[in-house]
Amino acid sequence: MKVSDVLGLKKSLENAIRSAQGNIQYVAQYGQGIEDGIIVSAEESGQKFGDLMTVFKQMLEANHTLNSVLASYNVKTGLSDMVRARENCKALIGLYSEAIQRSKPSKQKRVDRLQSGETKVVETEFRPFTSAKELKAGIKALRLEAMQLQRDINALNEAELDVPYTEEELVELTMADFSNSDML
């Protein structure tokens, strides 16, 4: 299964786990009420707690396995380092772009009125520490680096991983029903 497919299924499985955690307490049947040998409380539409837990544990186990497979792959290939480096490039591009807007040289004159009533012309000048040209060159270099990192990430995401589940099994787990209707 491709890395990108495993990532997508892992995300779906994590969403299903969160959903199941929120729903189990409302739909689980924990037992039966019996009076004088006669069942007096058992909702026929409910799901037995043990059955729900079996499926929930399968979901957790599959999620753990996918995380382990992906973590091993990330260590072996350096994929997470590449993703982090790409995100760092994006952060720097944002800061450099903001700096361009704030780093334009300027000269102005203003008139100040003194206490004596006289006026005084004051020349003001702003000299940026880094020129817009340098910042633009930095942005260009960072964009090229980010694009190369993205190409490398895309190539690694197309690799095949050995996952002990079929795609169908994982999809089935993400579709487990923890609502009031009958399960599986």
Contact at 8 Å (CB) between 160 and 2?
A: yes
Task: Determine contact, residues 66/13, Cβ cutoff 8 Å.
Answer: yes
pLDDT band at 184 (very low <50, low <70, confident <90, very high): very low
For the stretch 51-81, pLDDT in tens is: 889 999 999 999 999 999 999 999 999 999 9
Are the C-beta atoms of 28 and 49 separated by less than 8 Å? yes
Measured between alpha carbons, how far is 89 from 93 in angstroms, rounded to an integer? 6
In angstroms, the CA 91 to CA 183 distance is 46
Tens-digit pLDDT profile for residues 105-135: 999 999 999 888 899 999 999 999 999 999 9
Note the pLDDT tens digit of each residue in 15-40: 999 988 888 877 777 777 778 888 77
Confidence band for 152, pLDDT divided at 50, 70 and 90: very high
Residue 179 reports pLDDT greater than 80: no
Mean pLDDT value of segment 149-160 = 96
